[in-house]
């Protein structure tokens, strides 16, 4: 009996340990700006209380902040307790985790550069969704689009309707979503032009073309819209229909037969302003205004934004915008998408918001007061977008999910108009906040299909309201909505594929490209959490295996990272495009395309200036240290030394001398680990935990050697070799990965005569000067080694003085690495 009692105690203790471990901390895994409201959400399966939390520096393990600003909230049915942990008072840049109770959060960053470049990430998915020429697949699809239907006198006629974007993981194309996506990208650039880079050409292929990538993408959509509006009276609304939902396949090998042959023409639905549907299911269209209004607003805004880059095209769009708007005036009502074999379609019922937005853009384009008056009148017909504060809605019933016309009217110089529409914006936000009630995530979004699109729309409206008024009344809700998208939600799930690269984002999205062909679909915003009853009622939706998020599902709302759940885990093109504005508003310093980046690491500074940084790495040998130090002193130059933990432990006097001389010292892997396979770069050879420990140990060795760790944390990997995954892990730790600039062969100074790759010092010297003569060394990170194997008697550091003197005569200046890669 005693033995059984002991066994029972052990079982109970084990059970208690499991129960007590069921606590989680949710954070924004991408990170927080220094001046942000910074809140984590603590969740527990059991009813429990906490009275303190800690913010831990991830690199040092030290407690950086202790917090007691804790707000208890009402959890959903999946949890017994929830509270918000506010550490807004802590603003120091770095990499951290939050600890409370027995829960530890994922690692996150704080810093003003956290969102730098993020606005360009959704464009990766947009390029991948291109129809016609697809730059991701480097092939063309749907070249036969299409044949006209529902247009009397033109039935079955061929029309050039290629282009645009596939709507989601199917290959349908809709003006409804595409025109909105086009406007969203144009609007994002109009509001925050400096946030976008230029890394791709007009066809979506790598290479700058002097036009911001976001405008290249918007132009792709505009060209398609122009094709679908061949004259002032003809507008088309949709390419293909739900017969498309046949199987997972590549768009370039799409075999679906719509009656004109396998993989041939697809139907092009004309806008007719009346119910459409080829078979049993029909939509409820009542007019044209919702679609032609979207045409008009996109054309009008594009005429302004693209004038600098495509003046003739922009001029053409002015008349098309006016014609489309007039068509909407003449044919009020909603023009819905059409279904065929299933009951699902975009059930857009509102249209005055589209006409309001179009009128504001025509007013901006022409200055005619009649357009402003019309915009106000349309706006008064729908003061608040109806889903705001509602419990539910039909699929895309109130679309677009944000009325940007209110923003433009709220910014008018006419104080009466401005006050009225700012009040409308505020009213919608108040309804949403009221509906959130005591929710720990301040989330009042109705979890209808594509709820993440609503998240982005609400955060955008809050941001725009704050921009117009300076009122921070909704700032807590705004940041909570943003943070939700990056993992501060019940599932701890980032909702944008690949952002951040080290985050817990969807790895099994509903996508043929991802699931069957294993292509990354970085940048795609997935549908997001959905009401449990809706999920349970949809046709064909199911799970393919165990639910990794079972502990967090409630009887109210669910999310699944499973490709078979198209209701919560399918990326959408329009939702993705809508991210561009909000992410661009957080970018801070402009995206800098002057810095060359490879696999996520900076490999060159600006090519606009004749500046070079001398970079030295070291692990075993230090024979060149004194010579290098003296030469740098002679030229009043600051070098950058990236050394392993073993080096710091072995040569503490040398590294202290180098730092005292004003050189930058950083990590190079504690034990000189190889992080990626030489023959397959995307194959990582270490785990995230191993990498983090290695880097932390490297920094610890620096401190043990008596060095001050630099404020700007830079890391150059061992063997000068890494991949995107390692670069992402580096970023997560608040460190910037750098590497040498290739091409000059300077890094071959470690080779010994017995190697096939051996380069003599004279050869390296001449190669550097030859490269400079032909291509220039502007912004170069010129790497050599602080010491080399004794078998190499021909030491390149003995030629360093001559090299620096020669390059200085050619007009180059040697600068610190922090100056060279400064954004």
| In the predicted structure, residue 11 carries a pLDDT above the cut 50 | no
* pLDDT tens string 396-447: 999 999 999 999 999 999 999 999 999 999 999 999 999 999 999 999 999 9
Q: Which has the minimum average pLDDT: 11-20, 448-457, 693-702?
A: 11-20
Q: Examine residue 591 and state whether it is found in any structural domain, yes or no.
A: no
Q: What would the pLDDT profile of 305-352 be if each residue is shown by its tens digit? A: 999 999 999 999 999 999 999 999 999 999 999 999 888 899 999 999
SS3 96: strand
The predicted-structure confidence for 347-397, as pLDDT tens digits, reads as follows 999 999 999 999 999 999 999 999 999 999 999 999 999 999 999 999 999
Q: Do 60 and 199 reside in the same domain of the chain?
A: no
Give the distance between the most distant pair of CA atoms in the chain.
93
The reply to whether 590 falls in a domain is no
pLDDT tens digits for 604-641?
Answer: 998 989 999 999 999 999 999 999 999 999 999 999 99
Q: Which of 110, 143, 159 lies at the terminal end of a domain, its last residue?
A: 110
641 and 765 part of one domain: yes
Indicate which CATH number applies to the domain containing 367: 1.50.10.10
Q: Are residues 308 and 391 in the same domain?
A: yes
Q: What local confidence, expressed as pLDDT, does residue 227 receive? A: 98
DSSP state letters, 691-751: HHHHHHHHHHHHHHTTPPPPSS-EE--GGG---HHHHHHHHHTT-EEB-PPTTS-GGGGG-
Residue-wise pLDDT tens digits, 527-574: 999 999 999 998 888 999 899 999 999 999 999 999 999 999 999 999
Q: Are residues 539 and 617 in the same domain?
A: no
Domain around 31: 2-110
Asked if residue 752 belongs to a domain, the reply is yes
CATH of the domain at 655: 3.20.20.370
Task: Answer whether 177's CB lies under 8 Å from 225's CB.
Answer: no
Strand, helix or coil for residue 754: coil
CA angle 287, 290, 295 (to 5 degrees): 120
> Among residues 556, 171, 596, 179, which one has the least CA distance to residue 392?
556
Residue 671 domain-assigned (yes or no): yes
In a domain, 149, yes or no: yes
Q: How confident is the model at residue 257 (pLDDT cuts 50, 70, 90)?
A: very high
Please indicate, yes or no, whether residues 265 and 213 belong to a single structural domain of this protein.
yes
**Do 169 and 269 share a domain, yes or no?**
yes
pLDDT at 763: 97
Residue 60 to residue 701: CA distance in whole angstroms = 12
**Whole-angstrom distance, CA of residue 403 vs CA of residue 102:** 44
Count of structural domains, the chain: 3
CATH of the domain at 94: 2.60.40.10
679 & 731 share domain: yes
The residues that bridge with 231 in the sheet, in sequence order, are 234
Confirm whether 627 is domain-assigned: yes
Q: Is omega for the bond preceding 688 within 30 degrees of 0, making it cis? A: no
Q: Tell me which of 244 and 592 has the higher pLDDT.
A: 244
Is 508 inside a domain boundary?
yes
Which alpha helices (DSSP H) does 308-413 contain, by range?
311-330, 352-366, 369-381, 404-410
Residues 6+ apart with CB under 8 A from 331: 273, 287, 288, 289, 292
* 520-to-164, 492, 497, 516 alpha-carbon distances in Å: 21, 21, 8, 11
Query: Can you give the pLDDT at residue 596?
Result: 87
Statement: residue 7 has pLDDT above 50:
no
pLDDT at 591 over 70: no
Residues 674 and 536 in one domain: no
Domain boundary among 561, 585, 609: 585
Q: Who has greater pLDDT, 1 or 615?
A: 615
pLDDT band at 14 (very low <50, low <70, confident <90, very high): very low
Provide the pLDDT for residue 823. 67
pLDDT average, residue stretch 112-135: 96
With contact defined as beta carbons under 8 Å apart, do 578 and 585 qualify?
A: no
Give the SS3 label for residue 50: coil
Residue 538 is predicted with a pLDDT of: 87
Q: What is the tens place of the pLDDT at every residue in 741-757?
A: 999 999 999 999 999 99
The predicted pLDDT at position 700 comes to: 96
Quick one: average pLDDT of 488-505? 96
pLDDT band at 593 (very low <50, low <70, confident <90, very high): low
637 and 654 both lie in a single domain: yes
pLDDT at 344: 84
Burial 678-716 (b: 16+ CB within 10 A, else e): eeeeeebebebeebbebbbbbbbbbeebebeeeeebbbb
Average pLDDT score over the chain: 94
> Phi and psi dihedrals of 174, rounded to 5?
-125, 135
The predicted-structure confidence for 166-197, as pLDDT tens digits, reads as follows 999 999 999 999 999 999 999 999 999 999 99
Domain match, 568 and 652 both: no
User: Is residue 738's pLDDT more than 50?
Assistant: yes
**Is 479 found in the same domain as 421?**
yes
Which of 355, 333, 224, 213 is closest to 285 using CA atoms? 333
Please give the Cα distance from 525 to 581 (Å, whole number).
14
Among residues 553, 585, 617, the one where a domain terminates is 585
Which among 147, 141, 224 is positioned nearest to 181, based on CA atoms? Answer: 224
Question: Does the residue 696 lie in any domain?
Answer: yes
Q: What is the pLDDT of residue 822?
A: 85
pLDDT of residue 21: 64
Mean pLDDT of the 34-39 span: 96
Residues 497 and 526 in one domain: yes
Half-sphere exposure of 519 (CA within 13 A, CB side): 17
């Amino acid at each position: 009996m005693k033995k059984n009692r002991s066994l029972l105690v052990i079982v109970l203790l084990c059970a208690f340990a499991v129960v007590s471990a069921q606590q989680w901390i949710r954070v924004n895994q991408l990170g927080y700006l220094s001046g942000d409201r910074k809140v984590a959400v603590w969740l527990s399966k059991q009813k429990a209380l906490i009275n303190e939390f800690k913010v831990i520096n991830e690199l040092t393990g030290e407690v950086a902040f202790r917090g007691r600003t804790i707000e208890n909230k009402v959890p959903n049915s999946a949890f017994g307790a929830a509270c918000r942990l506010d550490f807004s008072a802590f603003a120091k840049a770095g990499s951290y985790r939050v600890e409370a109770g027995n829960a530890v959060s994922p690692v996150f960053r704080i810093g003003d550069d956290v969102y730098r470049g993020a606005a360009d990430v959704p464009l990766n998915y947009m390029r991948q969704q291109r129809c016609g020429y697809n730059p991701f697949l480097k092939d063309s699809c749907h070249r036969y689009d299409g044949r006209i239907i529902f247009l009397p006198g033109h039935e079955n006629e061929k029309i050039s309707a290629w282009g645009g974007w596939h709507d989601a993981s199917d290959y349908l194309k809709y003006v409804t979503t595409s025109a909105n996506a086009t406007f969203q990208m144009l609007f994002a650039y109009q509001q925050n032009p400096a946030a976008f880079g230029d890394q791709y050409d007009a066809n979506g292929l790598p290479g700058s073309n002097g036009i911001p990538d976001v405008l290249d993408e918007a132009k792709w959509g505009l060209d398609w819209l122009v094709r679908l509006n061949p004259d002032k009276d003809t507008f088309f609304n949709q390419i293909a229909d739900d017969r498309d939902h046949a199987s997972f396949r590549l768009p370039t090998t799409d075999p679906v037969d719509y009656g004109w042959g396998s993989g041939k023409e697809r139907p092009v639905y004309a806008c007719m302003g009346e119910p459409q549907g080829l078979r049993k299911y029909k939509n409820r269209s009542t007019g044209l205004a919702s679609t032609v209004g979207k045409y008009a607003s996109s054309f009008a805004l594009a005429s302004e934004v693209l004038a600098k880059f495509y003046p003739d095209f922009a001029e053409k769009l002015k008349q098309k915008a006016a014609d489309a708007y007039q068509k909407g005036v003449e044919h009020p009502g909603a023009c819905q998408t059409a279904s065929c074999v299933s009951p699902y379609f975009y059930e857009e019922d509102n249209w005055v918001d589209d006409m309001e937005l179009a009128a504001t853009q025509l007013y901006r384009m022409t200055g005619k007061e009649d357009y402003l008056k019309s915009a106000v009148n349309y706006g008064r017909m729908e003061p608040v977008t109806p889903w705001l504060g509602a419990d539910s809605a039909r699929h895309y019933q109130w679309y677009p999910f944000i009325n940007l016309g209110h923003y433009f009217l709220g910014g008018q110089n006419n104080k009466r108009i401005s006050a009225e529409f700012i009040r409308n914006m505020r009213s919608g936000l108040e309804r949403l906040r009221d509906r959130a009630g005591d929710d720990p995530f301040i989330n009042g979004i109705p979890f209808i299909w594509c709820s993440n699109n609503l998240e982005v729309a609400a955060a955008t409206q809050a941001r725009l309201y704050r921009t117009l008024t300076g009122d921070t009344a909704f700032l807590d809700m705004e940041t909570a909505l943003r943070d939700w998208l990056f993992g501060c939600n019940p599932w701890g799930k980032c909702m944008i594929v690949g952002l951040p690269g080290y985050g817990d984002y969807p790895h099994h999205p509903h996508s043929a490209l991802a699931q069957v062909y294993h292509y990354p679909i970085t940048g795609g915003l997935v549908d997001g959490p959905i009401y449990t009853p809706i999920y349970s009622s949809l046709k064909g939706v199911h799970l393919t295996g165990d639910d990794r998020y079972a502990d967090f599902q409630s009887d109210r709302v669910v999310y699944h990272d499973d490709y078979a759940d198209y209701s919560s885990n399918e990326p959408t093109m329009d939702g993705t495009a809508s991210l561009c504005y909000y992410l661009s508003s957080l970018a801070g310093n402009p995206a800098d395309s002057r810095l060359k980046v490879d696999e996520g690491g900076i490999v060159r500074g600006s090519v606009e200036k004749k500046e070079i940084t001398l970079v030295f790495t070291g692990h075993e040998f230090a024979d060149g240290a004194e010579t290098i130090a003296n030469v740098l002193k002679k030229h009043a130059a600051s070098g950058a030394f990236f050394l392993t933990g073993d080096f710091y432990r072995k040569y503490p006097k040398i590294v202290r001398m180098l730092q005292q001389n004003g050189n930058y010292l950083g990590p190079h892997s504690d034990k000189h680990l190889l992080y990626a396979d030489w023959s397959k770069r995307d194959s990582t050879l270490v785990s995230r935990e191993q990498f983090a420990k290695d880097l932390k140990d490297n920094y610890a060795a620096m401190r043990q050697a008596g060095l001050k760790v630099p404020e700007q944390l830079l890391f150059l990997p061992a063997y000068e070799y890494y991949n995107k995954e390692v670069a992402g892990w580096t970023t997560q730790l608040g460190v910037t990965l750098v590497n040498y600039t290739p091409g000059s062969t300077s890094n071959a100074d470690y080779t010994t005569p017995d190697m096939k790759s051996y380069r003599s010092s004279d050869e390296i010297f001449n190669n550097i000067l030859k490269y400079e003569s032909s291509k220039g060394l502007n912004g170069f990170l010129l790497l050599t080694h602080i010491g080399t194997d004794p078998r190499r008697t021909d030491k390149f550091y003995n030629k360093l003085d001559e090299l620096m003197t020669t390059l200085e005569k050619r007009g180059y200046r040697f600068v610190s690495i922090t100056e060279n890669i400064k954004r």
